[in-house]
Amino acid sequence: MVKPKLLIIQLWGLGDLVIATPFIRAAAEAFEVTLLAKPYALELQPRLWPGIQIVPFDAPWTAFTGKYQLWRWPWREILQLRRRFGGQFEYGASARWDPRDHWLLTFLGVKNRLGFPRIRSDVFLTRPLVRPGPLAHHFEYWQRVGKELGLVIPERAKLPVRPPPANGVVLVHSGARLAARVWPLPHFKELVRRLRAAGHEVLLACDGNQLAWWQKNGEPGAACPRSVSELIGLVDRAHCFIGNCSGPGHLAAICSVPTFTLFGPSMHEWFLPLHPQAAWIEGRACPYKPCADYCRYPRPHCIQDLSVADVWEKVAVFVDRHGEAEESMKIE
């Protein structure tokens, strides 16, 4: 039986792409799936979605700055995509309420186009969908697309996970794509000290722009993954993960590692990593929350004013709980 062809568009960050994983896996059972995503999706494919086709595309409108300088857009590459796909897809889907995604589905000649309209973008969609509630997790958007396509996707609390390694480390990652989502590095340093004092083996990881700070502040062995593949290698050594609201935490969760997330300008209701035992701490209140890319204040007090004491109170419970689970697996 020949499967119908489905084009999935997810052009944004690592976390957004990982959240789509349960949908992509379910879709691959019923469709011949092509995923249009950032180039690092090729590194994720063997681990998360074997058997689907990845077409790398770095969409210009996902850039942090200058996203609407149309004269700099890679128009030749966009036209090549159109010639390559040539109306071959019976179905296409985007779970982001983004008119640019919807235009792209139309431009690429997809016959049945599913998405959540915004700013009259329903003109590009053949099957516009009603958005979930305002506090719905982004995973629920993919769930709704899946339901429209006849797919069965488990609820978040019932997503399958495997036991993490019984002799794993506590992986602490201090980075995030946006500076406004980063808890202060001195706070992370004190948190790592407390974890080690409590007897936990800690593997510290960071972004490239943080590495020099860690090396100057007593962590010469800090890991700085330069690729998604290297990040997966660190995640595979961990029995739990602690970090900001960022891609590494989402990747850890989808690889079955329980996560603890420090939320600042973003909302846990929208972005809690997809692990049934995911834990979190909420940032300080702010009238502008949730923020997108920029903070209206000189400093993002929502996350920077989270004290070490407040975070440690919850982290200590989190790591002890998963430490106990680790010991029970050793006994068994």
- CA-closest candidate to residue 193, choices 202, 183, 185, 182: 202
Question: What confidence score (pLDDT) does residue 329 get?
Answer: 37
* Predicted TM-score (pTM) of this structure: 0.93
- CA-closest candidate to residue 187, choices 239, 259, 264, 295: 264
Question: What confidence score (pLDDT) does residue 324 get?
Answer: 55
283-317 residue pLDDT tens: 999 898 888 667 888 899 999 999 999 999 999 99
255-293 residue pLDDT tens: 999 999 999 999 999 999 999 999 999 999 989 888 866
CATH number belonging to domain 169-331: 3.40.50.2000
Distance separating alpha carbons of residues 176 and 178, to the nearest angstrom:
5
153-209 residue pLDDT tens: 999 889 988 887 777 899 999 999 888 999 999 999 999 999 999 999 999 999 999
pLDDT > 70? residue 56: yes
CATH class of 5-158: alpha beta
Residue spans of the domains in the chain: they are 5-158, 169-331
Does 5-158 match 169-331 in CATH topology? yes
